[in-house]
């Protein structure tokens, strides 16, 4: 798998990441084991998780696999902090206390002495300087190698990056991850320009439009799909409307002309979009993951990428500059 630098930091990762949001809930341990083994065998290394994923079960599964299946040095472990549960409700808390408590528990569940990329999961109500001081502490003590953010919009990314660069010794922010796909291109407006300015990497989540861009919903909602579940139906439903269907049909038409699958067309569009470092794939089984690995040597013709830009929201200015 080809590798890319995470912004202008010294960190490099394979250009596809493995997301674990469904681990411990929809992805069983045996499937997770097959997924991780196939991913690493193909040259992938970026594994992204969070304490909020299945309330820590995703991290526990990764930790077990690192003890039994995969060497720790073969992966770039990314996790997050700042989503917590209170009285059964998930809330954002980016205070120093909660962030460092999350980090301690992540290290324990993962069975490791360090996190490669530690990210603030979302913008919170705590003072920004307090939130970022937790990142500084984690990096300076050696339990975190690189610091990043997640779900920060453009001005939030700029505020946090500017604060960190204002004084020597603060941990530089190397990455951000927000949703980005043919069905969700808002990142192009402010987030991606901010990342370019601050020379940060970009890990898009849900690069397949929450599964809709695979084409599986063209004929309805399959029984075994996320949209058919009570816990993920709300997550997929916004992309089952008419505009999204039109984009999916355009992807399918391009796939027919290229002799590949709609899944591969949508994947290649986001993987090679300007500013993207490594999209995070949330496949639930190794079989679902195989078509992405098979697309490693593929690329979209520029005219097809531009046509998909047009049908999904308009030209990508970064592609033409």
pLDDT band of 321, cuts 50, 70, 90:
low
Measured in whole angstroms, the distance separating CA 297 from the mean position of its chain's CA atoms is 21
Mean pLDDT (whole number) for 209-226? 88
Whether the full predicted model's pTM is greater than 0.85, yes or no, is: yes
Say which residue, 226 or 132, is predicted with more confidence.
Answer: 132
The answer to whether 32 and 23 are in contact (CB under 8 A) is yes
| Tens-place pLDDT, residues 61-98 | 999 999 999 999 999 999 999 997 777 788 999 999 99
Confidence of residue 252 (pLDDT cuts 50, 70, 90): very high
Q: Which domains are assigned to the chain?
A: 3-211+273-299 (3.20.20.100)
Task: Give the per-residue pLDDT at 262.
Answer: 97
Using the predicted structure, report yes or no on whether residue 230 has a pLDDT greater than 80.
Answer: no
Band the pLDDT of 3: cuts 50, 70, 90: very high
**CA dist., res. 82 & res. 243, Å (int):** 34
- pLDDT > 80? residue 300: yes
Q: How far apart are the first and last CA of the chain?
A: 27
Coil, strand or helix at 26: coil
Mean pLDDT to the nearest integer, 278-307:
95
Angle at 247 between CA 242 and CA 251, to 5 degrees: 145
Residue 124 C-alpha from the chain's centroid: 19
Please state the length of the chain: 321
What SS3 string covers 125-194? CCCHHHHHHHHHHHHHCCCEEEEEEECCCHHHHHHHHHHHHCCCCCCCEEEEECECECCECHHHCCHHHH
Let me know: does 7 contact 201? Beta carbons within 8 Å. Answer: yes
CB 309 within 8 A of CB 319: yes
Q: What confidence category does residue 176 fall into, taking pLDDT thresholds of 50, 70 and 90?
A: very high
Check residue 170 and give its pLDDT.
97
């Amino acid at each position: 798998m080809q590798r890319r630098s995470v912004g202008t930091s010294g960190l490099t990762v394979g250009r596809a990441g493995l997301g674990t949001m469904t681990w411990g809930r929809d992805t069983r341990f045996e499937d997770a084991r097959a997924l991780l083994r196939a991913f690493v065998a193909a040259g992938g290394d970026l594994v992204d998780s969070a304490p909020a994923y299945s309330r820590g079960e995703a991290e526990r599964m990764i930790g077990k696999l690192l003890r039994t299946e995969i060497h720790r040095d073969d992966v770039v472990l990314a996790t997050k902090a700042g989503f917590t549960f209170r009285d059964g409700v998930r809330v954002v808390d980016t205070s120093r206390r909660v962030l460092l408590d999350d980090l301690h528990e992540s290290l324990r569940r993962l069975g490791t002495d360090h996190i490669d990329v530690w990210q603030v999961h979302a913008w919170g109500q705590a003072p920004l300087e307090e939130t970022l001081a937790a990142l500084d502490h984690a990096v300076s003590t050696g339990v975190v190698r690189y610091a990043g953010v997640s779900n920060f919009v453009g001005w939030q990314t700029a505020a946090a990056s500017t604060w960190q660069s204002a004084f020597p010794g603060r941990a530089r922010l190397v990455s951000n991850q927000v949703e980005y796909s043919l069905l969700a291109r808002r990142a192009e407006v402010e987030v991606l320009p901010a990342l370019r300015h601050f020379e940060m990497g970009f890990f898009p989540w849900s690069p397949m439009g929450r599964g809709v861009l695979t084409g599986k919903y063209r004929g309805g909602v399959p029984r075994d799909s996320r949209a058919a579940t009570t816990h993920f139906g709300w997550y997929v439903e916004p992309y089952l409307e008419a505009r999204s269907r039109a984009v999916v049909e355009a992807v399918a038409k391009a796939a027919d002309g290229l002799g590949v699958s709609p899944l591969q067309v949508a994947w290649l569009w986001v993987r090679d979009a300007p500013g993207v470092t490594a999209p995070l794939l949330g496949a639930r089984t190794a079989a679902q993951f195989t078509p992405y690995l098979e697309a490693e040597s593929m690329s979209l013709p520029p005219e097809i990428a531009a046509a998909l830009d047009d049908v999904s929201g308009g030209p990508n200015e970064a592609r033409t500059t």
